[in-house]
Chain A
Amino acid sequence: DAGITQSPRHKVTETGTPVTLRCHQTENHRYMYWYRQDPGHGLRLIHYSYGVKDTDKGEVSDGYSVSRSKTEDFLLTLESATSSQTSVYFCAIRDRGDTQYFGPGTRLTVL
């Protein structure tokens, strides 16, 4: 699975609190992605990164920010969590053949 880990795996938080999810990869991949998965919507891209400190928005980026200060880590931050951000979040990398490999996911519940 391309050495991708996500932390935490589960989190319950309250509306209005900041939350940071971490994606870590060990194989020096340049491209990293954050998706959210909700019933009926499939996988929707939040943000992606094409290098250290190089990031771009996806289709559902509002309310999310990202940072990538090292090749191996891609952080997703919810500055002020809302109930609509309750979801399963997947991190992914893209290999040289355009294949995406996904991390195990983080289940986030915002009360």
Chain B
Amino acid sequence: GQQVMQIPQYQHVQEGEDFTTYCNSSTTLSNIQWYKQRPGGHPVFLIQLVKSGEVKKQKRLTFQFGEAKKNSSLHITATQTTDVGTYFCANTSGTYKYIFGTGTRLKVLA
């Protein structure tokens, strides 16, 4: 079945540094969604990308969908302690099922 690989698995950054997580698939994705899960919390939807080459921004967060729709990235500029958590990408695989990446756990050191 379709798999979505996410790298890195863990990332520790100093507060103020940038952070990027990548989501890769061997097959074309119909869309890509990003979620954030704070420690001890539940996943929360951030954004959905649908179009090839799409770029969307939310304040310090920049989301990209690759031209071939096989990869996506989430970039955080000047991380803050509030950015701590695990970031997941997900794809609906063209059905009503969601396939999640394994997540990138971000730790921000003050």
Contacts and interface: CB of A to CB of B under 8 A. Distances in A.
A103 B43 contact: no
Given A59-B1, A98-B33, A45 B97 contact: yes
A3 B90 CA distance: 22
B78 interface: no
A13 B75 CA distance: 41
Contact of A44 (B41, B42, B44, B100): B100
Interface in B84-106: 88, 90, 92, 96-103
Contacts of A94: 96
A60 B99 CA distance: 12
Contacts, number: 50
B100 A42 contact: yes
B98 A42 contact: no
A74 interface: no
Contacts of A43: 43, 88, 90, 100
A90 B100 contact: no
Given A59-B1, A94-B96, A98-B33, A42 B45 contact: no
B42 to A, nearest CB: 4
B33 to A, nearest CB: 7
